[in-house]
């Protein structure tokens, strides 16, 4: 990617999204992250990037400008998703703070503020799918503010990491903005072939640290087979383990209820576990299916369990990282809890790469259109016939590529500009 362009990463975390852009030839000039341990991880893997351990709420665009000077800017960023997450909705129920009522929800407005101050020519924003479904009005507010403050043409899609070779189902809202006149990057987005099951994704994964079950949970997990969860347990045991989160149904009157071990309608204790709800509780993964979303909690936690299909343990650090499409050699700093938080917060590298490639192709399409305009001006110039024969041969070759809708190389675009300037400045007699 052109070094005259600066890429600024906000809420960088361990660098999953950024890693995808680096794979496509972009250089990340500045990465900004609040978590000091995540900053260590980022620095270790991307030593050529300026990493700033800073709270974005106190950061100004002017500070960032001092680092990148007057280069055109691309901004990447995935503000904290917890306040918009469906996992938070399921766990906290009605009483939990969500959306803009949660302080972390305001981080998407900080993203808008910095975009307004820096005026990038392209942006990529990532967050959970739930932001555009359950919190649609908040998302519209965010999008309108972003469009008004930047003037960019915005579009979004809900993408699934499974379509980009990860072996993990992870739906994310990806919003992309570009200066008007640049084609929509989503028109160029392509899937990446790769693993579709846990078994395919974890082939030859290197050994690493993993979470063990607590003694009381280990006994429960021994009763749960590959691909199963809490709802295969005896109902009274399931209630004992899940408490207020338990979901049951009365066998006599079919009443569904929550957080108790008897029917609230008829009082019967002849109950069954509800199926298809809260399936992340006491969950064991299946080799022959894709993995669910990798989260920030320990993989053996009762809620959000990511248990190994057959072994009495949770997924390991390297297994979780592989499902996020981090390279096996990617280093993670901190203890095991800090490492899984970094991995769970990340955008899958492969998804980032697909977005980066689409963005790059949209830039190339725009540059090709500009080059075609220059080409047309060259051949319509009265002095065209006075060009050197080698220059005419080059122009003829470019005309053939244009007619067959082939893209131009960077060298071809550069030479076209040079020939045009040569003609325009009347250096040909």
How many helices (H) and strands (E) the chain has is answered by 15, 10
Specify whether the CB–CB gap between 133 and 125 falls below 8 A. Answer: no
The one catalytic residue in 39, 81, 173, 263 is 81
354, 327, 359: which is closest to 164 by C-alpha?
354
Q: What is the 3-state secondary structure (H, E, C) of 209-265?
A: CECCCCHHHHHHHCCCCCCCCHHHCCHHHHHHHHHHHCEEEECCCCCEEECCCCCCC
CB burial readout 376-395, b (16+ within 10 A) else e: eebeebeebeebeeebbebb
326, 352, 374: which is closest to 41 by C-alpha?
326
- Cα 245 to its chain centre, rounded Å, is 30
User: Which strands sit side by side in the sheet containing 122-128, from one edge to the other?
Assistant: 50-53, 28-33, 6-10, 73-77, 122-128, 171-178, 153-160
Q: Which two tokens stand for residue 338?
A: 């800090």
The number of beta carbons lying within 10 Å of the beta carbon of residue 419 is 23
Asked if 81 is an active-site residue, the reply is yes
The CA radius of gyration of the chain, in Å to the nearest whole number, is 26
Q: How far is CA 199 from CA 167, 196, 307, in A?
A: 9, 9, 14
**Spatial distance between the Cα atoms of 232 and 226, rounded to a whole number of angstroms:** 11
Q: Exposed, middle or buried, 199 (CB in 10 Å: 0-12/13-18/19+)? A: middle
**Spatial distance between the Cα atoms of 195 and 198, rounded to a whole number of angstroms:** 8
Specify whether the CB–CB gap between 72 and 5 falls below 8 A. Answer: yes
Q: Which two tokens stand for residue 125?
A: 């924003």
Which residues have C-beta within 8 Å of that of residue 195, sequence separation ≥ 6? 165, 166, 167, 201
Residues classed as catalytic: 81
């Amino acid at each position: 990617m052109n070094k005259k362009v600066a890429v600024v990463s906000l809420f960088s975390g361990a660098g999953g999204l950024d890693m995808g852009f680096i794979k496509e030839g972009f250089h990340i000039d500045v990465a900004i992250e609040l978590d000091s341990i995540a900053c260590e991880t980022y620095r270790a893997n991307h030593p050529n990037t300026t990493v700033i351990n800073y709270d974005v709420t106190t950061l100004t665009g002017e500070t960032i400008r001092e680092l990148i000077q007057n280069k055109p800017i691309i901004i990447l960023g995935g503000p904290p998703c917890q306040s918009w997450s469906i996992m938070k909705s399921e766990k906290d129920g009605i009483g939990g703070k969500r959306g803009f009522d949660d302080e972390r929800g305001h981080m998407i407005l900080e993203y808008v503020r910095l975009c307004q101050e820096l005026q990038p020519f392209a942006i990529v924003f990532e967050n959970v799918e739930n932001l555009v479904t359950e919190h649609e009005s908040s998302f519209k507010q965010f999008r309108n503010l972003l469009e008004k403050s930047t003037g960019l043409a915005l579009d979004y899609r809900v993408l699934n990491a499974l379509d980009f070779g990860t072996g993990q189902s992870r739906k994310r809202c990806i919003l992309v903005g570009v200066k008007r006149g640049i084609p929509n990057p989503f028109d160029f987005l392509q899937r990446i072939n790769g693993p579709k099951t846990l078994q395919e994704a974890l082939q030859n994964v290197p050994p690493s640290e993993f979470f063990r079950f607590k003694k009381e949970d280990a006994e429960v997990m021994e009763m749960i087979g590959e691909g199963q969860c809490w709802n295969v347990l005896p109902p009274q045991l399931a209630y004992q383990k899940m408490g207020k989160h338990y979901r049951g149904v009365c066998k006599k009157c079919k009443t569904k209820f929550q957080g108790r071990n008897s029917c609230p309608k008829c009082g019967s204790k002849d109950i069954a576990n509800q199926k298809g709800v809260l399936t992340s509780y006491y969950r064991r993964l299946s080799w022959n299916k894709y993995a669910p979303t990798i989260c920030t909690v320990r993989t053996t936690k009762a809620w959000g369990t990511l248990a190994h299909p057959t072994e009495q343990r949770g997924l390991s650090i390297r297994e979780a990282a592989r499902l996020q499409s981090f390279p096996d050699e990617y280093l993670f700093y901190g203890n095991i809890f800090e490492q899984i938080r970094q991995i769970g917060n990340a955008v899958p590298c492969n998804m980032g790469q697909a977005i980066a490639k689409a963005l790059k192709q949209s830039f190339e399409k725009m540059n090709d259109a500009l080059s075609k305009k220059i080409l047309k001006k060259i051949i319509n110039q009265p002095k065209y016939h006075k060009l050197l024969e080698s220059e005419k041969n080059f122009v003829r070759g470019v005309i053939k590529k244009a007619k067959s809708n082939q893209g131009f190389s960077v060298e071809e675009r550069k030479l076209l500009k040079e020939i045009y300037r040569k003609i325009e400045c009347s250096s040909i007699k």
